[in-house]
Amino acid sequence: MQLSKVIGHRGAAGLAPENTLASIRAAAEVGVKWVEIDVYPIAQGGLVIFHDDTLERCTNGSGLTLDANLETILSLDAGAWFGEAHLGEKVPTLEQALDCIQSLGLGLNLEIKYEGADVEAVVPPILAVLAERWQDNEKLLVSSFNYAALEMCFKVNPLRHLAYLVEEVPSDWLLKLAAIQAYSLNCYYLPLTEEQAVAVKSAGYKLLCYTANEPDLVAQHWEWGMDAVITDDPRQFMHLEH
Ligand code: G3P
Ligand code: MG
């Protein structure tokens, strides 16, 4: 796996409207080699790059993201809320984001944003798009807070690298990582302890931490063995890549 130490969060959420192509390009412009984005399954099988359960914060639309039809969500403005310069920016489809990321030569942490139980219906279509458009396993890490979604990923294609996303490291983390042959544990940097970090690393897994926007916040984490930081403001961390 060709992971880099700095991963832009939602593209580079601090530099451009999150989870848009502009955000991905902004990450690349400051030298980022990997980006994290959220794929959100919506009504009738649509797959869009979006974080929230509702449309209000990041678009000029309203209502539940899950209920939005693809045509409507793609017609919304997803940039104006961030600033006038981004007026007219759109919510990307998964396909558009994959093409953009690959054309920039970046690695991808694709987070499956799905809290429901119907992973058998929702996850395979995401993997089918990846199978069609993203062959390079060395530059792709699929993550989710939804463990059942990761189990489904492992079942469909055991060769994809998987990351279990957690806020706090759960007591059964080792069993869970082992069962899906996970690549990494991706956890919130703040509650992580040195003991937990060392245990994850000693067990042979990579350790990624989100979402830290100032180097001081994760200075200790590097010492504990953290492999990568997921950040809204990659500019603060780019010195680590050299
Ligand atoms: O993948 C790390 C991070 O993106 C998880 O939280 O809510 O920003 O998607 P969230
Ligand atoms: Mg995310």
The ipTM estimated for the assembled molecules is 0.99
For the cut 80, the answer to whether the pLDDT of residue 154 exceeds it is yes
Give the ligand with the smallest distance to the CA of 230. Answer: 1
Residue 198 confidence (pLDDT): 98
Q: What percent of the chain has pLDDT over 90?
A: 97
Residue 179 burial (CB count, 10 A): 14
Q: What is the DSSP string of 104-159?
A: TT-EEEEEE---SS-HHHHHHHHHHHHHHH---GGGEEEEES-HHHHHHHHHH-TT
229 — pLDDT class (breaks 50, 70, 90): very high
Residue 42 burial (CB count, 10 A): 19
Select 6-241's CATH number: 3.30.450.40, 3.20.20.190, 3.30.1370.100, 3.40.1190.20: 3.20.20.190
For the cut 90, the answer to whether the pLDDT of residue 4 exceeds it is yes
Tokens of 158: 């055991």
Residue 54 φ then ψ, to 5°: -125, 160
CA–centroid distance, residue 198 to ligand 2 (Å): 24
Domain range summary for the chain, segments of one domain joined by +: 6-241
For the cut 90, the answer to whether the pLDDT of residue 241 exceeds it is no
pTM of the model: 0.98
Q: Is the CB of 232 under 6 A from ligand 1?
A: no
Tokens of 131: 């199978």
242 — pLDDT class (breaks 50, 70, 90): confident
- Ligand 1 test: best mutation among 36, 52, 54, 166, most atoms within 8 Å of CB? 36
- Tens digit of pLDDT for each residue in 16-64? 999 999 999 999 999 999 999 999 999 889 999 999 999 999 999 999 9
